[in-house]
Structure 1
């Protein structure tokens, strides 16, 4: 048996805030560190910071972490390497089912599911384990991946409370809107904050509309929501299978590419790492006006300078890309998601409300053990435990109730989906790409560009750019491309990473490096 403790390890400085999986794998390969050491260091980081940040629902029991790490270290010593992520720690969003044998709950942030027990792992959990990754724990999220109630600040759950940004000077409550400048965003809130805070180098989140892109944007991370169906949704607590997808959240494009290699349902003909060219030379780009494509925030005060800074730095980024890209078209017209409506109602949310009840009920009915077996029982649980589940600062479950009472017919459903796809694709992304002769559309990540991805089912990615002078909050860019264009978006992220300054760790968490 191979065990290496921190007391007997080779002395090697490690900054968990900046180290990515690629750098860690190099240390593991060189024998300068072992996976057993890594889990100890990452656990210590969680203990040090998570009372404040509340990014974790639960960490994996230490005895299981140690046993997994020792087993993977022994495999390495015998010459068995499962892949480029062998022995690397990872965080998992707590709407992704894990069997009780992993020592972790699957709560989607709700006390109603705190004691539930899935009968098996989600498909992607088995893929992650088979690739030799070490699951450090499950991360916090707004309940039901932000589908419990409307107008609720992101990142709060009854199970763990409010997740706080590792970057922001202040707390989430300092902003009065779900997407205010102080909010870490969601719903993959804990996964994003955990990676930025050095709890693990990589994480898995999920997105229905913006839930990978937005929190990654606010944690200075790279992410991608793949084309719908590319990654298995089996065992992920659903909002709507029409829009839901899991995806990687990382500090670098290399880590994103190798983790996406693990997650895809069918192995790609070539690794996504082949797209890490670091060059814009064969990419044609169309850019959205940041003054038009932006989130409306009630607390977005022009006097604080945040909006001016975002617009200025995005336009400067556009100039840098224009100098390097094969083609660059600025301030293009792109249909607004505000037009994705029938009779004044959002087609996307009509579909979500129709999907959530039957799909969530199917998940609940399939659990090995659970105190609730239907959406109706969850709503009743919340009402019974309103002091915990529906407190004055997070009092709503209207989204759940609307889904429970939904009467959308099959004909209405198909009408809404057809209209949404037509507007998002033929009159939206496809039209813009064809009209301007470009490969990709880029714009602010703080925008409704993620709704374009939901409407189309196409992949979207996010890339870090800068940090607000106002409070330190990161902000960056998003890019969308056509169906199954993940290789192209990874090429875009790689070129971005080679063009702009390296992402910075959270200044408030910077401390003396861990010494092994």
Structure 2
């Protein structure tokens, strides 16, 4: 009899479990839609790169991404969400920590707030930015554990402000438990451990919320194609003007997600402009650090010469916190250095703009009224403005750095970082893999990949190119900086990102306003190597004085 009862109970448990699984399968949060009308609307866009061939991904099913956490998100009512808005929306990390310490907010509620916004906007085809490509199914549970530790008075691990803060990662950064695709179907099932910077984030207590879309292969695949597009994630859209303004690339998802308040902050990567561009286009703060300040181990590469990760946030203090939380000497990265630059406290101390000597570029003064007005305001705040015309320098061979580096660096990444067999081993096999289905895999072609194969530059020739370009880049900035004892040179968006890239100089971009069309525009500070702390101070001073950033109207 007992055996009979046990069998019945087992059968009931199995039956209930199957019913739950069936219910999950039947539940549909998102329906694919016909995006042909949207594509047609953009067919005559004045910007050729915004004449899209598709909007939604042909590869991912949002239900697979959003269903696992749906029961948790349902626990937050609309009334609770509205009550949390003044505590969280647009607030910096120090304010969030204050609310948590005061008992007004919990780590769990903080995570649920951001998830609520992601579900609210990303599951609606009229508001989706196509930015979220993966979510950490354990993130709510992880936040709950932090709350339990706090209740017990056992928060001995709280040594960094990033602790308990939900962070999004660009989808070329290795993350355990989530695929790292680089936006490519060839990498759709790429299983990895954590990248070095992700390990550092977790060691400091950050909560990894999920992964965001990017320009496929960090925008080193096709020529003249839309920024923010990948075969995996589809077309990322700008919250300040969906299908109207570019997202910037390649860290498009990082920029759009931060702008729309989907997380506290996000990590992007840059080779030449890929943090500065999307940060500027989405009115957020982005910092491209000196090469070597942050590790590149576990990041899908373009160029081991120029690649770097960096923080993207709604404000300068948060960018400093995220930058500091990722730093550390990495033995596996030959360029990695250990520098205690004081970046964490930099935005909070000595932020006066008075007496700071900034070089401003004459042709930008003549052509951009917002830049000109910002420079005038800096003068009013006591900054010393020196008008400069940078020297003409050769950038010959720049493309070969990317070509030859990627030809060697991608196979090395696949060999050392991936934990499962992928359908490609190198650029040659990637080109062949993509060519088998151009409609799905490469609707905009793969001319840059083909260019990699065609480039015959030798390793020895490349070394000369790298050296010459570093000298050219540094001369471009140093000539004026040394002659006039400048603290930094001021640019717009990613206009001078290429020169900063080859010089291996850091740069930070900060919102400075909006064009008449509503498109964001930012002021970019560029300085010499390992001057991140100084850049953060200048940026914080500018941000505090001008308060230019506005939340996107339809995502407030």
TM-score range, shorter chain: 0.7 to 0.9
1:113 aligns with 2:162: no
* Structure 2 residue matching 1:148: 3-state secondary structure: coil
Partner of 1:196: 259
Q: Which whole-Å deviations, capped at 9, do the CAs of 1:239-298 have from their partners, x for residues lacking one?
A: 0011111000011111111111112223615343235333112421111135489xxxxx
Q: Using a 3 Å threshold, how does the CA distance of structure 1 residues 150 and 323 change in structure 2: closer, same or farther?
A: same
Matched, 1:340 2:386: no
Which among 248, 251, 254 is matched to residue 311 of structure 2? 248
- Is 1:221 aligned with 2:321? no
Deviation at 1:336, TM superposition (A): 4.6
5+ residue gaps, structure 1: 173-181, 294-307, 342-346, 511-516
* TM-score scaled by length of structure 2: 0.79
Are the structure 2 counterparts of residues 17 and 399 from structure 1 closer, same or farther at C-alpha, using a change threshold of 3 Å? farther
Structure 1-normalised TM-score? 0.85
Task: State the secondary structure of the residue aligned to 2:362.
Answer: coil
**Residue 206 of structure 1 aligns with which residue?**
269
CA distance in 1, matches of 2:76, 2:363: 48
Q: Which runs of 5+ in 2 are unaligned?
A: 1-71, 329-337
Q: From the superposition, tell whether residues 10 and 221 of structure 1 become closer, same or farther in structure 2 (CA, over 3 Å).
A: closer
Output aligned runs, 1:121-160, within 5 Å.
121-160=194-233
Do 2:130 and 2:235's aligned partners in 1 also have CA atoms closer than 8 Å?
Answer: yes
1:450: which partner in 2? 497
Tell me how far apart the structure 2 counterparts of residues 267 and 443 of structure 1 sit (CA, whole Å). 26
Q: Would you say the 8 A contact 2:92–2:317 is kept in 1? A: no
Matched position secondary structure for 2:377 = helix
Bigger Cα displacement from structure 2, 192-201 vs 494-503: 494-503
Query: Are 2:520 and 1:474 aligned?
Result: yes
Q: d(CA) in 2 for partners of 1:13 and 1:142?
A: 33
2:145 to 71, 76, 79: 71
- 8 Å CA contact retained: 1:278, 1:497: no
Indicate which of 397, 403, 420 corresponds to 1:353.
403
Q: Count residues with an aligned counterpart.
A: 463
User: What is the alpha-carbon distance in structure 2 between the residues aligned to residue 377 and residue 321 of structure 1?
Assistant: 52
Counting only pairs closer than 5 Å after superposition, residues 328-407 of structure 1 correspond to structure 2 as 328-330=385-387, 332-336=388-392, 339-341=394-396, 347-366=397-416, 367-369=418-420, 370-391=422-443, 394=444, 396-407=445-456
Map of 2:64 onto structure 1: none
**Alignment check: 8 A CA contact 2:272 2:498 kept:** yes
1:431 corresponds to: 479
Of 255-264 and 203-212, more deviation after overlay is shown by 255-264
Q: Please point out which of 171, 183, 193 is paired with 1:94.
A: 171
Cα distance, 1:142–1:263 mapped onto 2, change above 3 Å? same
TM-aligned CA deviation for residue 413 of structure 1: 0.7
Per-residue CA deviation, residues 325-380 of structure 1 (Å, 9 max, x unaligned), is 452112x111356x312xxxxx2211111100110011112211123222222211
Q: Distance in 1 between matches of 2:487 and 2:252?
A: 30
CA-CA distance at 1:99 after TM superposition: 1.9
Partner of 1:299: none
> What is the CA distance between 1:194 and its match in structure 2?
0.2
Instruction: Give 1:411 shift.
Output: 2.6
Match of 1:443, SS state, is strand
**CA offsets 1:158-206 (integer angstroms, 9 cap, x no match):** 11111000111x515xxxxxxxxx2111100000100111110211000
Cα deviation for residue 9 of structure 1 reads: 7.7
Alpha carbons 1:285, 1:325 under 8 Å: kept: no
Given that 1:365 and 1:374 are in contact with CA atoms closer than 8 Å, whether structure 2 keeps it comes out as: no
Deviation (angstroms), 1:509: 1.7
Is contact 1:284–1:326 with CA below 8 Å preserved after alignment? Answer: yes
**Distance (whole Å) between structure 2 residues aligned to residue 318 and residue 283 of structure 1:** 12
Out of 131, 134, 153, which is 1:55 matched to?
A: 131
Match of 1:43 in 2: 115
Query: What's the Cα RMSD here?
Result: 2.2
Deviation readout 1:436-470 (Å, 9 max, x if unpaired): 221110021152x1111112001011010111222
- Pick the structure with greater CA Rg: 2
State whether structure 2 residue 85 is matched by structure 1 residue 14.
yes
Give 2:45's aligned residue. none
On the 8 A contact 1:72/1:86 being kept in 2, the answer is no
Bigger relative contact order, structure 1 or 2 (CA pairs below 8 A, ≥6 apart):
1
Whole-angstrom distance in 2 between the partners of 1:23 and 1:49: 25
Secondary structure at the counterpart of residue 510 of structure 2: strand
